[in-house]
A and B are shown apart, each in its own frame.
Chain A
Amino acid sequence: MSKINITVEINGQKKSAEVEGRMLLVHFIRESAGLTGTHVGCDSTNCGACAVLLDGRAVKSCTVLAAQANGRKVVTVESLSDGGKLHPIQSAFLERHGLQCGYCTPGMLMSAYWLLSRNPSPTEEEIRKGIAGNLCRCTGYQGIVDSVKLAAERMKEAK
């Protein structure tokens, strides 16, 4: 299998590696960059546990090739909190019981982040649509919807 050299900026740090053309971005993030906060829950772009931001847009990194991210910027869950301080979306998930097992959580957070970056005041319906590409088996989504609502309020206040 032929290999290619790529450089991806992950959470502000450049990561270069020689990868196979078929390598998925999620494996590059988890294996090459060692950032295991991004999870894999399916092989078919359905569950959204692997969601990250690619040049600011939420993508499901299990269906993007690492090579496609060459020269681009990736943001993962690890960069959301600032030092020890949780991002308002993270603290809202903690306060509104937006997670149980926590496996879908990184993807949910990134989808919520992407949603709020486009729409700072979403309605409940818009929040539900915004996370419809992320599956959660634990919460029944109510806690997540409430968390995103609270995060939106907090982020508006902070501005």
Chain B
Amino acid sequence: MTSSQFVQLTEKETLIGRSVKRKEDNEKLVGKAVFGADVKFKNMLYAGIYRSPYAHAIIRKVDLSKALKMDGIIAGLKGSDMTALGYLKPLSPFPFQSRDPFRRGNPRIKFFDHYCLATDKVRYVGEPVAAIAGTDRYLVEDALEAIEAEFEPLEPVLDSEEALKKDSPLLYNDWGDNRALYFHVSGGDVDAAMKKADIIVKEKIYSGRFTGTPIEPRSVVADYDAPSNLLSVWDSTQIPHNIARLIQQTIDLPGMKARVFQSRVGGGFGQKWGFYPEEIIVPLLSIVSRRPVKWVETRSEHMVGTAHAREQVHEVEAGVMKDGRIVGIRDHIVANAGAAYPVGGLASIVTSAFFVPGAYKIQDYEADITAAATNKTPYGAHRGFGKAEPAYVIERLVDIIADRLSMDPSEIRFRNFIPPSEFPYVSATGPRYDSGNYPEALRQAMSLADYWGFRQKQKELREQGRYVGIGMALVVEPSSSTRMGSYNAGYYSVRIRMDPDARVFIFLSGGEEGQGHITTSSQIAGEILQVPFDDIHVVEGDTLACPVGSGSYSSRFSVVGTSGVFGAAGILRDKILAIAAALMKCSVEELDLASGKVFRKARPDDSLTMQQIAQAAYYEVFRLPEGMEPGLEMLYHYRDPNIQFQSDERGRVAMFSSFPYDAEIAITEVDINTGFVKIVKFVSVHDCGNMLNPMIVEGQHTGALAHGIGGALYEELAYDANGQPLNTTFKDYLLPTSMEVPEFVLSHLITPNPFTPGGYKGAGETGTIGPPPAISNSVEDALKPLGIKLRKTPLSPVYIKSLIMEKLGGKNV
């Protein structure tokens, strides 16, 4: 694939790069959009799941007989059915669908045959134990209460470091320990770097358990049609093709085909990227009952049954020269993987080890990461997928180094940034950073925040007894990931059709969860094909109608998805011009295309409408050039050029292809009576390359920043000593509301991505990553007069107040 295959845009073309209003909004504004919970069929049953009330226990008895006799109850399933059904297999680990390379490789992964319902033991509160289907959701809830289950509680393992101790109780007895995964990555010579360093800075840094909580909970509707052996599934997933294949692998009925429709999805944020037990349970209930079955997650189920993320401890050390240069980093990471269920978290955990060096030119780097299995909800994907954790560590570490050397935190950053001249830059661990200008982004952010002016003002405010601080972070978000062993393999496929009326249909291999792909795809195709924006219709999320692909996640649509649309529209345009040249008896070079017509450049009056050309393509094939296929329907596969599957001489691979980044500065004030942190000002200078639709980019980025503020200040999934989750509703798991999220000061810097036709990088996740370190750095600065050091997120009032009380002897000031 070379860029010359893509249409070169000229100045007069304006759809691309404009803040076009979104096509997808209308149906959502009038209440017509069909989300998973809105799918309804005649004769449909409702499913409910009986979940483990214990964190760790042996299942002694699960008796559904009373429940099955109740009014309206049609079917039930329990753990002992898993093997009895004969055709059912354990859940395939996702995304590591082929197990063998990982048993002894790097990463080294331990597997366990998890079924969709627990068979002998439960390993977290919320693990599905049994399922019931009935004619009415209320009756199903009654039946769940009539299930007779007995458990023998075992000692739970909750802390990841405790889990790795020799005498820890085991989640999986045959493993011999609780190490679900081990991965080691190295680049350069860290020992030599540490030896030459003037000082070694060591720190232990903890990221709290925090998750995405889309406002739409998950849902699955399944309808098995026995005569055609076709299982149709409506799923609030981000990965319909992967789920279709995973269902076929798990429900091994001979010849059964699974078709997955991604309904409208009310936010994904990575949590709908996994492969969940319900995606098998509900189809099974449909197969058993021969009726359509719907399951809709409740919020309290979501908080225990849908992936958690972020919980990691890093013991990191940096070798630093007196002038502030960081010469080497070594990190020892332990992730709390929860019950290590196959929802995708292990891939996220591996990712963390790659990116601790962040925005800095540090080639001597090594890290090892261990995923500890514990009795918590499984770790999974979450906006910032495994990259938020190392970004937090490096951006905190830089501030800690600045403090040790009595330098300004900005100075350490400017001294260590990857210079703009060195892009594309191959990092110590292999990924090739496409482009960037980190010093300029930070300079702009400092200017917008009036950084040095604030430093002056801070002195005065401190004299008045105010605790105000300023903190920064420059975070890089490796995006558009790729992984072998599933459909996530570095490509994006798009089918495009122009019909005889010159209406255009685009079939995307991935669906969307609110990012606006219908609009942005239409912008690209409208521009390239010169047809009206409103004449374009985008189809997505149906695994039979759409080309195969891996879905929407990892901020990949703006990178590989748009590239696929550029390519598909480009080959369709080529064909239109070739047909026009034949019809007009001239060469393609003599022709151009604008406003729904193809015309001779020399004589614009000599033209054909797009409809005339399209009708020839379908109805008058004898007029087409010799050997040309009829019709105007093409399939295009875009292959990501910035992905490197084959190891280089140092054994490195490159699985992420674009590297958006954000320079953020937070000004905060801490109320030392309550421990409450107020964000006074928040500046962000964001670079995602060229912007296809700036309105959408800003919307994505603003939402991401708010999401990051949640993780920085409010959101933590807490457990008691028995492994009972303490916050399973939005009453106690606190998402930021309109009152907590400030109005951001936003600016864009543009360094185009040289590896994509549009120059785009990923755009939806970077903002989630920056606030935890930027706000932590700011709050630590605010509390500097008290000498307080922060070592974890979130900075809840309770945590901050406890640190203040340690320093001030436990009394309110």
Q: How far is the CA of A139 from the CA of B138 in the complex (A)?
A: 34
- CB-CB contacts of A1-33 with B at 8 A, as 1s and 0s? 100000000000000000010110001001000
What residues of A have a CB within 8 angstroms of the CB of B743 in the complex? 142
Q: How far is the CB of A32 from chain B (nearest CB, A)?
A: 12
Of B515, B739, B744, chain A has the most CB atoms within 10 Å of the CB of B739
Quick one: given A93-B25, A141-B706, A142-B744, are A135 and B514 in contact (CB under 8 Å)? no
Q: How far is the CB of B86 from chain A (nearest CB, A)?
A: 36
| Docked-complex contact B138 and A22, CB < 8 angstroms | yes
Q: How far is the CA of A94 from the CA of B436 in the complex (A)?
A: 33
| Docked-complex contact B738 and A37, CB < 8 angstroms | no
Asked if B419 is at the interface (CB within 8 A of a chain A CB), the reply is no
What residues of B have a CB within 8 angstroms of the CB of A76 in the complex? 31
Task: Give the residues from 2 to 59 in chain B that come closer than 8 angstroms, CB to CB, to chain A.
Answer: 21-22, 24-35, 37-38
| Docked-complex contact B215 and A103, CB < 8 angstroms | yes
Quick one: given A136-B215, A137-B703, A137-B735, are A36 and B34 in contact (CB under 8 Å)? yes
| Docked-complex contact B299 and A42, CB < 8 angstroms | yes
Asked if B675 is at the interface (CB within 8 A of a chain A CB), the reply is no
Q: Who on chain A is nearest to B31 by CB?
A: A37
Q: How far is the CB of B776 from chain A (nearest CB, A)?
A: 20
- CB-CB contacts of A26-63 with B at 8 A, as 1s and 0s? 01001000011111111110110100000000000000
Task: Give the residues from 197 to 214 in chain B that come closer than 8 angstroms, CB to CB, to chain A.
Answer: 212-214
| Docked-complex contact A140 and B696, CB < 8 angstroms | no
What residues of B have a CB within 8 angstroms of the CB of A20 in the complex? 138
- CB-CB contacts of A75-98 with B at 8 A, as 1s and 0s? 011101100001000100111010
| Docked-complex contact B216 and A78, CB < 8 angstroms | no
Quick one: given A90-B30, A141-B741, are A101 and B266 in contact (CB under 8 Å)? yes
Asked if A109 is at the interface (CB within 8 A of a chain B CB), the reply is yes
Asked if A64 is at the interface (CB within 8 A of a chain B CB), the reply is no
| Docked-complex contact A106 and B31, CB < 8 angstroms | yes
Q: Who on chain B is nearest to A97 by CB?
A: B699
Q: How far is the CB of B494 from chain A (nearest CB, A)?
A: 22
Asked if B695 is at the interface (CB within 8 A of a chain A CB), the reply is yes
| Docked-complex contact A104 and B215, CB < 8 angstroms | yes
| Docked-complex contact B699 and A103, CB < 8 angstroms | no
| Docked-complex contact A128 and B30, CB < 8 angstroms | no
Q: How far is the CA of A144 from the CA of B264 in the complex (A)?
A: 20
Asked if B319 is at the interface (CB within 8 A of a chain A CB), the reply is no
| Docked-complex contact A78 and B513, CB < 8 angstroms | no
Q: Who on chain A is nearest to B212 by CB?
A: A137
Asked if B423 is at the interface (CB within 8 A of a chain A CB), the reply is no
| Docked-complex contact A139 and B703, CB < 8 angstroms | yes
Q: How far is the CA of A43 from the CA of B729 in the complex (A)?
A: 7
Q: How far is the CB of B598 from chain A (nearest CB, A)?
A: 33
Q: How far is the CA of A134 from the CA of B27 in the complex (A)?
A: 20
Quick one: given A41-B217, A101-B216, A137-B212, are A94 and B29 in contact (CB under 8 Å)? yes
| Docked-complex contact A97 and B696, CB < 8 angstroms | yes
Checking A27, A35, A93, A100 against B514 with a beta-carbon cut-off of 8 angstroms, the contacting residue is A100
Checking B32, B516, B731 against A37 with a beta-carbon cut-off of 8 angstroms, the contacting residue is B32
Asked if A116 is at the interface (CB within 8 A of a chain B CB), the reply is no
| Docked-complex contact B30 and A103, CB < 8 angstroms | no
Q: How far is the CA of A98 from the CA of B738 in the complex (A)?
A: 13
Q: How far is the CA of A42 from the CA of B739 in the complex (A)?
A: 20
What residues of A have a CB within 8 angstroms of the CB of B27 in the complex? 102
Task: Give the residues from 488 to 529 in chain B that come closer than 8 angstroms, CB to CB, to chain A.
Answer: 513-516
| Docked-complex contact B30 and A44, CB < 8 angstroms | no
Q: Who on chain B is nearest to A86 by CB?
A: B29
Asked if B673 is at the interface (CB within 8 A of a chain A CB), the reply is no
Asked if B265 is at the interface (CB within 8 A of a chain A CB), the reply is yes
Q: How far is the CA of A56 from the CA of B215 in the complex (A)?
A: 25
Q: How far is the CA of A77 from the CA of B25 in the complex (A)?
A: 14
Quick one: given A97-B695, A101-B266, A103-B267, are A140 and B29 in contact (CB under 8 Å)? no
| Docked-complex contact A137 and B29, CB < 8 angstroms | no
Checking B29, B269, B731 against A90 with a beta-carbon cut-off of 8 angstroms, the contacting residue is B29
| Selected A-B contacts with CB under 8 Å, 18 pairs | A1-B138, A20-B138, A35-B31, A39-B216, A41-B216, A46-B729, A77-B31, A101-B214, A101-B266, A101-B514, A102-B25, A103-B214, A104-B266, A129-B738, A132-B737, A140-B703, A140-B704, A141-B737
Q: Spell out A's residues near B (CB within 8 Å).
A: 1, 20, 22-23, 27, 30, 35-44, 46-47, 49, 76-78, 80-81, 86, 90, 93-95, 97, 99-106, 109, 127-129, 131-145
Known: A39-B266, A137-B215. 12 other contacts (CB 8 A): A38-B31, A46-B730, A49-B215, A78-B31, A97-B699, A99-B25, A100-B516, A101-B264, A101-B266, A103-B214, A133-B737, A140-B707
Q: Spell out B's residues near A (CB within 8 Å).
A: 21-22, 24-35, 37-38, 137-138, 212-217, 264-267, 269, 296, 298-300, 513-516, 695-696, 698-700, 702-707, 729-731, 735, 737-739, 741, 743-744
